[in-house]
Amino acid sequence: MHLMFLGAPGAGKGTQAKILEQKLDALQVSTGDILRKSIEAKSELGLKAKGYMDAGHLVPDDLMIELIGEKFAEPEFPKNWIMDGFPRTVAQAEAFDSLLTRLNEKLDYVVEVDVDRDLLVKRITGRRVCKNCQAPYHVTFNPSKADGICDYCGSTDIYQRADDKEDIVINRLKVYDEQTAPLINYYKAKNLLFRMDGNAPVEAVTNLILDIVSKS
């Protein structure tokens, strides 16, 4: 199972990937999470990426392509994966195609999660994340079961990302329109694209995706 999510920030890619990781026995590969961990660890990649991320810009393609190449080369990298946040540019998508060809693997589904703009802003600015396991929550739409405690790992460190504040969010949406949205046609042309109405509640969207994956 090789699945990729496409969609603007706040579309619910991370939320769905986290749920499907368990249901499909596949690893969620979130480049945003990998970068945030690198920043916390003060690694060379983290130091290079931080300024771009804080401003709501994309991290340069060469760094991202190298990061994904290294991830796929890890000895414990699993057979099944879900891409969440990569690729985000046509150059990244082309490099990813080459990587998969080299590894003799192929992409099975690209799920585009489409959400109305005003709802995206509400979702991102209300988003909270578990610092320990990166599980995503929303203060009103998807709170943790017990207040302030992560459903997945029990951590009490649930926080708001710096780039989820409203002024940065506007820039991230612009970057999506200009640099990532062209990937919709890129994958449509390869007959891999499935479009989802992501305005629906979390569980309904999960069921739609599971439907596609089980039918094809």
Q: Site residues (CB under 6 A) for ligand AMP?
A: 9, 31-32, 35, 52-53, 56-59, 64, 85-88, 92, 163, 172
User: How far, in Å, CA of 210 to CA of 166, rounded?
Assistant: 32
Closest to ligand AMP by CB, 98 vs 147, is: 98
Minimum CB distance to ligand AMP, residue 199 (Å)? 19
Minimum CB distance to ligand AMP, residue 35 (Å)? 5
Phi, psi of 100 (to 5 degrees): -65, -40
Closest to ligand AMP by CB, 2 vs 57, is: 57
Closest to ligand AMP by CB, 34 vs 145, is: 34
Contact status, residue 32 vs residue 85, Cβ threshold 8 Å: yes
Burial readout 130-167 (b: 16 or more C-beta within 10 A, e: otherwise): bbeebbbbbeeebebeeeeebeeeeeeebeeeebbeee
Closest to ligand AMP by CB, 23 vs 174, is: 174
Kindly list the catalytic residues.
13, 88, 127, 161, 172
Minimum CB distance to ligand AMP, residue 215 (Å)? 28
**Nearest CA to 108 among 3, 214, 188?**
3
Give the residue at shortest CB distance from ligand AMP.
32
User: How far, in Å, CA of 105 to CA of 9, rounded?
Assistant: 27
Minimum CB distance to ligand AMP, residue 155 (Å)? 18
Q: Is the dihedral of CA 151, 155, 158, 162 positive or negative?
A: negative
Token pair of 1, please? 């199972």
